Amino acid sequence: MSGHSWPTEISKKPLSDRLARFVPSGEEGALDGHNLAHTDAGEFNLLVTGSGIRLIDWALSCPGPEWTDAALLVPRLIAAGHTPSQADNVARHVPAYRDADPARLAVFARTIHAFWASRTAEDPLPQRVKLTEAAERWTRLHG
């Protein structure tokens, strides 16, 4: 997925705009990208079939950096019990994530933590609390 461009005929707000209020000051532009990003590849959106795994429910898809979905997997893996380093190593199997600018990934980690912290403050569902804690642990990995 990370190698596919966003279809220009579909007009959706890019990830950088969706998360703009959570991006650290002075880091605007770190989430710019024009690649296909699902942005919600959690356990409820993966359909296992006899011929492989299918990603379903594309309602939150948008243009974003090519490494978006691999990066969003990291806090989910941490929330599932992996260490931040283990989760980061899994994401590094995706070339776009492995080759991503570490500074942009660090901004993304801080942005996702701020996003989940905001969502948790609004409605502290157990899964949000876990993702907020996981995202915070991920930010420490990126300094």
Query: pLDDT tens across 16-32, in order?
Result: 999 999 999 999 999 99
pTM of model > 0.85: yes
Residue 75 CA neighbour count, 13 Å, CB half? 33
Hey, CA dihedral for 64, 112, 79, 142, is it positive or negative?
positive
Query: pLDDT tens across 90-109, in order?
Result: 999 999 999 999 999 999 99
Which alpha helices (DSSP H) does the chain contain, by range?
Answer: 15-18, 68-79, 84-91, 95-98, 102-122, 126-141
Average pLDDT over residues 23-47: 94
